[in-house]
Amino acid sequence: MSAQKAPMHARFRVIETTTLVDGSKRYRVVDLVEGGAASKHGVFKVRTDAEAVCTTLNAEHPRQLAVRDSAPRSTY
């Protein structure tokens, strides 16, 4: 039996928004760890542009999982 690692989830994700004025689509890159303004990393008319920024940000800032205490534990 092999141990499986939990999948690493991306920290940044592209979301699609619709403008109220004319109903056009816009794409924003959001930070799932720190939150903040959805426009912080830009607003894009083309999804592939937003995904390129998202990929770059995920490569530069991988999502950090909680670090577990690695001290040996007593079993009695």
Model confidence pLDDT, tens digit, residues 19-64: 999 999 999 999 988 888 878 888 999 999 999 999 999 999 876 5
Mean pLDDT is highest, among 2-6, 9-13, 34-38, for 9-13
| pLDDT(74) > 80 | no
- CA-to-CA distance for 32 and 20, rounded, in angstroms? 25
**What is the per-residue pLDDT for 72?**
53
Burial code (b: 16+ CB inside 10 Å, e: under 16) for 32-61 equals eeeeeeeeebeebeeeeebbebbeebbeee
In this predicted structure, what is the pLDDT of residue 68? Answer: 43
Better-scored residue on pLDDT, 5 or 8? 8
